[in-house]
A and B are shown apart, each in its own frame.
Chain A
Amino acid sequence: MNWLHTWSGVVLGSLLFAIFWMGTLSVFDKEIDRWMMPASRLALPAEFSYETMRPAYQAALAAKSPSVLLLVPNERNPVITALWRGTDGAFAQHMFDPTTGAELPDQGTLGGSRFIYPFHYSLNLKVLGLGYWIVGLCGMMMMVLCVSGVVIHRKIFADFFTFRPERKMRRATLDLHNVAGVLGLPFHVVISVSGLVILFSLYFPSSIWAVYRQDVRLFGREAYGSYVRPPARRPADLVSFDTIVAKAKSVWGQGEPNYLYVFHPGDAAAYVQANRSSEDVVSNISHMAYVDGATGELLSASKPEKPAAVTQRFIAGLHFIQFKHWTLRWLYFVLGLAGCVLIATGLLFWVESRRERHRKLGRSGARVVEAVTVASVTGVLIATLAFMVTNRALPLGASAFGVERGAIEVVGFHLVWLLTLLHAWSSGGRAWIGQCWTISALAVAAVLLNAVTTGDHLIRAIVHRQLWPVAGIDATLLIAAVVAACAALRLARSRRVAAVSLQEAGA
């Protein structure tokens, strides 16, 4: 078990850290969106009329898109978001003002919800859906690591609160690994399991194939009550969105929809899928109503879910945190960071216990793993901050070498990540200190750039309610800057102490 924990940890630790880090950030993906898309820092209207979505729908109609997904504005995402297939055949996202319905200028960024969040579950690797499978395997291995970790950690209760930072680096690292692992164990297990259970039909389709045989699509219809019909190829107008929503609400009672999905816009057989928002329950319920676009009649509605489906939606809800609960959101964020600490200290312990021995034996193992560890821990933090700094430094509509603004940010992220690896390799153990200082500097730069380019500095952001997401991000960045600076100072001091004692030993 010890062997299993050590080696699967070293092999997958870097990837796991990236997944956990991006997941932790995804807790606040919408807030990161507000920070990276200044035009969307809007206040919700007191009274929202669903007809405000009409211009967004008209724009999709004009682009002859076969369908259009309209996200209803809410507290965290105060804009009408519309997704449709453009005339060039590619899906594009557009934002509309929740009060006037007018289209907002393209912000030229993927932001939190289209870069950081998909990175968390697919590494943004689209080839053959490979990213999903790698993340899925990492999720399974995280559970294997949790189980084997508990088995090898014999003195689990005696060491329950034991953290001795005054001890040697190696011992203190192991203590911190144990504290973060044991005290956060329920979270680590639940978050890994629930992440996998969300995509159960992707990861374990064999039970669906077995009972549905040829017609797998029937599963969606029976399990979720999904409804499809072909277009009539006759033009017709869509009834008022308020009528559609009122009809949908007659199915599920109180509760607003979180999205309206219009199929065959402009066609006589157009229909709208409305889904009840699950912001007041833990479970990520899928309670859908299908309304006829031309007549406003109810076509179909999902039936009450059965036990297995209810369980699956609840577990998924635990992971998705789509509910409106700010305390829980922050608690998840803190626990996510604890998960990052767990993985990082695990990797660090491996390096610390082998560094001297490998150096004496002339083996490169510890050196390679240390470089990879530095790049995957502080490196991914730096890359993320570089992503945000690039976002605020580039003007709207910028492009270079035919690459659009949003893509430049993504290229910047990967380029900086690669640079941190090169830096880690070239400067060995000192790399931690340099990269901690870089984190500190970039975090401060991000806050300053946001203040300069948008005028929404921290004080202003605290005063205005609709700027609180920005205030939260800025404050978190500043705290991160301080923590990184403290870490750099502490590391530099312990290096000096080590160097002095080494000299004394030599003399």
Chain B
Amino acid sequence: MKIFARTALAIVGGYVGTSAIIAALAMIAVAMVGMERSEAATLGAMLGFVIYLGVMIWSFAEPALIRVTLWLGAVTALSLTLVLLLSRLPS
């Protein structure tokens, strides 16, 4: 059961978290650094593979599963908030 939770967190949680993070990163790159949209989107998606790998390995390696859950949840929430805030900006 514990193994199942850990695997689900790594694969599903990791994917959702990564998607949120790269969305926020891409928006920040466009809004604040002035990167072109297509560049920001491509760069974000490519970074996604690295971030996802890191999250997966971390959630398999970390003894206290709750710590990964909380951190990942917090970062995901923060990223989604950023995405919402930045999408209100007039583009």
A/B contact in complex, CB under 8 angstroms: yes
- A204 CA to B55 CA, complexed, in Å: 15
Choose one: B48, B53, B57, B60; the contact of A207 (CB below 8 Å).
B48
User: In the bound complex, do residue B46 and residue A306 qualify as a contact, i.e. CB atoms below 8 Å apart?
Assistant: no
| A308 adjacent to B42 (CB under 8 Å) | yes
Question: Which one, B45, B52, B61, contacts A1 given CB within 8 A?
Answer: B61
Q: Which of A196, A201, A210, A307 contacts B49, CB < 8 Å? A: A196
Question: Chain A 1-44, CB within 8 Å of chain B: the 1/0 string?
Answer: 10010000000000000000000000000000000000000000
Across the two chains, which residue of chain A brings its CB closest to B23?
A210
Task: Chain A residues near B22: list those with CB within 8 A.
Answer: 204, 206-207, 210
Q: B57 contacts A144, CB within 8 Å?
A: yes
CB distance from A164 to the nearest CB of B (A): 31
Distance of B51 from chain A, by nearest CB (Å): 9
A195-218 vs B: 1/0 string, CB under 8 Å?
Answer: 011001101111111111100000
Tell me, rounded to whole Å, the shortest Cβ–Cβ distance linking B58 to chain A: 11
Among B24, B40, B46, the residue within 8 A (CB) of A200 is B46
Which of A137, A143, A204, A307 makes the CB contact (< 8 A) with B45?
Answer: A204
For the complex, give the distance between the alpha carbons of A312 and B26 in Å. 16
- A219 CB → nearest B CB, Å: 6
User: Which of B23-81 touch A at CB < 8 Å?
Assistant: 23-27, 30, 36-46, 48-49, 52-53, 56-57, 60-61
Residues on B with beta carbons closer than 8 Å to the beta carbon of A211: 26-27, 30, 37, 40-41
Q: In the bound complex, how far is the Cα of B31 from the Cα of A72, in angstroms? A: 43
**Docked CA distance A205–B44 (Å):** 9
* Interface pair A306/B39, CB less than 8 Å apart: yes
Closest to B49 in A: A196
A140 interface residue per 8 A CB criterion: yes
Chain B positions 3 through 39: 1 when the CB is less than 8 Å from some CB of chain A, otherwise 0 = 0000000010000001110111111001000001111
**In-complex Cβ contact of A143 among B11, B19, B43, B53 (8 A):** B53
Residues B41 and A207 in contact, CB atoms below 8 Å apart: yes
- Measured CA separation A223–B38 after assembly (Å): 5
Q: Is the CB of A223 within 8 A of B41?
A: yes
In the assembled complex, which residues on chain A have CB atoms less than 8 Å from the CB atom of B56?
140, 144
CA of A307 to CA of B43, assembled, Å: 9
Tell me whether A193 and B26 are in contact (CB under 8 A). no
Q: With A4-B61, A206-B19 given, is the CB distance from A140 to B39 under 8 Å?
A: no
**A interface vs B, CB < 8 Å?**
1, 4, 137, 140, 143-144, 147-148, 193, 196-197, 200-201, 203-213, 219, 222-223, 306-309, 311-312, 315
Binding site for A on B (CB under 8 A): 11, 18-20, 22-27, 30, 36-46, 48-49, 52-53, 56-57, 60-61, 83, 87
Q: Can you list 25 contacts pairing A with B, beta carbon distance less than 8 Å?
A: A1-B60, A137-B11, A140-B53, A140-B56, A143-B53, A147-B53, A147-B57, A200-B45, A200-B48, A201-B45, A203-B49, A204-B18, A207-B43, A207-B44, A208-B41, A209-B23, A210-B22, A210-B87, A211-B37, A213-B87, A222-B38, A308-B43, A311-B46, A312-B46, A315-B46
7 tightest A-B contacts by CB? A207-B44, A210-B23, A223-B38, A204-B48, A206-B19, A207-B26, A204-B45
